[in-house]
Chain A
């Protein structure tokens, strides 16, 4: 039985030594704003948003120094933050590419052709799922259901969903991202949101 792709290793096996981490002044403000959402004595509840903030600041992954920093920021035991960071899939505790490319391969997407999307991603980024691209800019992963099944198959790049993909459309999106552009997120088939693929079938008289 081989380890699943992207299976996490214990900390320290791969991660380079990052000595220090601290929020930038802007992120510190943001962190304080997030903290204010929770009642006093319940700061630990802010661990997820703060880890997201730290991960975004540190280029897509969380070194131990960042976990320790967040633990101290929230007055939690370090191990509690390690548990959270290692449990959730959206936190990377090993160095990965800054741009996170996730291909949904759960059943609805797979039925609608996620294999082709994955193939496009492999070709454009030049790496396998669970790896970073050779230039180190991108991190490709297979992901479980992203909850956009009506627009399957789906590709999730950083904070944006690209939907209704085919091999060609996925390739176009990814190539644009590689060039440093950010194409318009959402369905790439021209339809709006998740309205029926063949055009409106109800409420024909209502609206514009």
Chain B
């Protein structure tokens, strides 16, 4: 452990640390532009200069290994003079357009200029002109502002794994570019906007819309995939202006996937903002009282065994508590939260959780992906796998349709037959898993959300037992969900009770006229044609797929518009916070169901969020404490049976449009069209 003297204070740092880290350990703040703790060291901005005794010149502390006995000065006149010089040179070609720059107010260069900047420019020549680059519909560029820290290049190379940005030419002519004018293809590209220490890379949808200091900042969680990334919702008035990631080392580190970051314009479009009732074949706006009375009449007139509850992909736990309570009081066992038709049971819990945890991926040494494309289903889980792979000594195998995941993958096969081979130990990869110290399996919804899903789940269970995915202190069995609501739904037990119908049963029941009334709580991924025959009461946020066939519409609140709980794929309960109010007459979902229960005459006696959450903790004690994962018990699940030889396909065919919010978003539509055009080109119409 090297011992250094920083400004007279002795600190000891782990071997391999840099002087910059040592200075930070001593509580000194060193100004940086190019240095970023999660990226490789570049050492090219020279802002972090410090004075080290016995070294003739100031040293770039970010790139200098800490050595025993170093005497470092971070606050000497030499250091200040050196940093002032560096900053003056950085500012030579930097335009003075802070008043119109989106970065203004949250700009590293602006902040450091306050401390080290010259009060006037000595540079009389013309500044260097640089053409702006086209990087796609998400990122706008102002390349004259670029100070060539290369954080964006390093992020895409190292973390996103998509080598598309580079620095071409050299010296004064150096430019950051993708060379050919083409949109970036990463699902994590938005992070380079956050990484850019100046205003060179900006969010295109947010550009020129607001200034940072007029935004209200609300700390919340994301629900556009099942990762449950920590986010900050920046709003002005009653409008979400942008969404940024928030640090959560165990979930999203400091990154955010692009859909979660950029789909927010979908919150303002196609919203259901007034209750509606179908009269003579047309949906007509009515007031809350009327719609609740009409639905209540219908409920009272229908036999409970003919009523079903379906729960969608982004529904919060509070609402699901009300669904459970209401269904119980109405006496219907037909409650289903698995709108993709997967066969996941509620016991043992291990079968539906990402047991290894996202941070746990970094401990694994062999990984088998089954029927999943993590790059699209959970970009940040994929980024973790890539992070693990970059450290070396990590093998990834896949059973399913090949797709570029940004790290090398051994393709073992495409369908259940290969899984069978591995599960029975006939495949060489089984030995690899068994011989590994910490093997993990990631089972995707593409493997189990199909008619033979229960048998595939049974095979996965067999595999887990045969290669011992569970070892002391290690659970390598993982399910990768695509829906933010699913784990919460399973934790609360929103599956058919005794004699209840599952999704297939409910849909078949509708067709045969045995189910007459369907509550669609945010259900958007079920073919609406199959619901059509029933009286559908749709509690949703968007005029998406289900609303057109609904008989009654109860406008609900989107995830930015309520204080509510979601459970991420690891089983981590997290609280989202209200940033803006629901549009028009839309209300918080659980309150709507509470009011409905009263209108039906079967009041659910939960009146405040606190009461709902208390009931939630009774139903599922593991949800009682926020941000804490309770390890799940192991047991048997799935069942033996014949499997269909069809290859496993990821449920996500278009990353950019997977939910009502992203489907309503114009930005996502543009990304989706671009991706489709790229895919067409790749399949060879261009030779």
Contact = CB atoms under 8 A, between A and B. Distances in A.
Given A1-B126, A78-B179, A10 B163 contact: no
Interface in A86-111: 86-87
Contact of A1 (B125, B167, B169, B180): B125
Contacts of A78: 179
A78 B157 CA distance: 12
A83 B175 contact: no
A1 B127 CA distance: 8
B336 to A, nearest CB: 46
Contacts, number: 39
Given A1-B125, A7-B173, A10-B175, A86 B180 contact: no
A182 interface: no
Contacts of A10: 131, 168, 175, 177, 179
Interface in A5-41: 7-8, 10-12
B181 interface: yes
B356 to A, nearest CB: 30
A86 B174 CA distance: 9
Nearest to A83: B166
Contacts of B125: 1
Contacts of B131: 10
A86 B181 contact: no
A79 B169 contact: no
A156 interface: no
A80 interface: yes
A1 B179 CA distance: 25
Contacts of B175: 10
Contact of A8 (B163, B166, B173): B173
B173 A79 contact: no
Contact of B168 (A1, A7, A77, A82): A82
A79 B166 contact: yes
Contact of B169 (A12, A80, A87): A87
A83 B177 CA distance: 10
B518 interface: no
Interface in B153-186: 163-170, 173, 175, 177-181
B77 to A, nearest CB: 34
A8 B164 CA distance: 20
A64 B180 contact: yes
Given A82-B166, A82-B168, A83-B167, A12 B126 contact: no
A10 B168 CA distance: 9
A10 B180 CA distance: 9
Residue among B178, B179, B180, B181 with the highest chain A CB neighbour number at 10 A: B179
B170 A79 contact: no
A7 B170 CA distance: 10
Given A10-B175, A64-B180, A77 B163 contact: yes
A82 B182 CA distance: 14
Contact of A79 (B126, B179, B181): B179
Contact of A12 (B163, B165, B166, B181): B181
Interface in B132-167: 163-167
A75 B173 CA distance: 27
A198 B177 CA distance: 54
Nearest to B131: A10
B164 to A, nearest CB: 6
Contacts of A12: 180-181
A79 B170 CA distance: 14
B159 to A, nearest CB: 15
Nearest to A93: B168
A87 B163 contact: no
B182 to A, nearest CB: 10
Contacts of B167: 83
B180 A11 contact: yes
A79 B156 CA distance: 12
B130 to A, nearest CB: 9
B162 to A, nearest CB: 9
Given A1-B126, A79-B163, A80-B163, A87 B179 contact: no
Contacts of B169: 8, 86-87
A196 to B, nearest CB: 37
Contacts of B177: 10
A80 B173 CA distance: 17
Interface string B198-232: 00000000000000000000000000000000000
B167 to A, nearest CB: 6
A155 B164 CA distance: 38
A182 to B, nearest CB: 32
Given A1-B125, A77-B163, A82 B179 contact: yes
A12 B182 CA distance: 12
A164 to B, nearest CB: 31
A143 B180 CA distance: 28
Chain B CB within 10 A, most for which of A7, A79, A82, A86: A79
Contacts of A64: 180
A78 B166 CA distance: 10
A80 B179 contact: no
A12 to B, nearest CB: 7
A10 B164 CA distance: 16
Contacts of A1: 125-126
Interface in A49-92: 64, 77-80, 82-83, 86-87
A154 to B, nearest CB: 23
Contacts of B165: 79
Contact of B164 (A11, A79, A86, A87): A79
Contacts of B173: 7-8
B131 to A, nearest CB: 6
B416 to A, nearest CB: 33
Contacts of A87: 168-170
A41 to B, nearest CB: 12
Contacts of A77: 163-164
Contact of A83 (B126, B168, B180, B181): B168
Contacts of A80: 163, 166
A77 B169 CA distance: 17
Nearest to B128: A1
A129 B170 CA distance: 20
B684 to A, nearest CB: 15
Interface in B301-331: none
Nearest to B178: A79
Nearest to A79: B166
Nearest to B168: A86
A87 B174 CA distance: 8
A12 B167 CA distance: 16
Contacts of B163: 77, 79-80
A28 B276 CA distance: 71
Contacts of B180: 11-12, 64
B242 to A, nearest CB: 28
A183 to B, nearest CB: 34
Given A1-B125, A79-B163, A11 B179 contact: yes
Contacts of A8: 169, 173
Contacts of A79: 163-166, 178-179
A22 to B, nearest CB: 14
Contacts of B166: 79-80, 82-83
Nearest to A8: B169
Contacts of B164: 77, 79
A164 B181 CA distance: 46
A83 B169 CA distance: 7
21 contacts: A1-B125, A1-B126, A7-B173, A8-B169, A10-B177, A10-B179, A11-B168, A11-B179, A12-B181, A64-B180, A77-B163, A77-B164, A78-B179, A79-B164, A79-B166, A80-B166, A82-B179, A83-B167, A83-B168, A86-B170, A87-B170
In the A-B complex, the 5 residue pairs with the closest CB atoms: A77-B163, A79-B166, A86-B168, A82-B179, A83-B166
Interface of A: 1, 7-8, 10-12, 64, 77-80, 82-83, 86-87
Given A12-B180, A87-B168, 10 more contacts: A1-B126, A7-B173, A10-B175, A10-B179, A64-B180, A79-B166, A79-B179, A86-B168, A86-B169, A86-B170
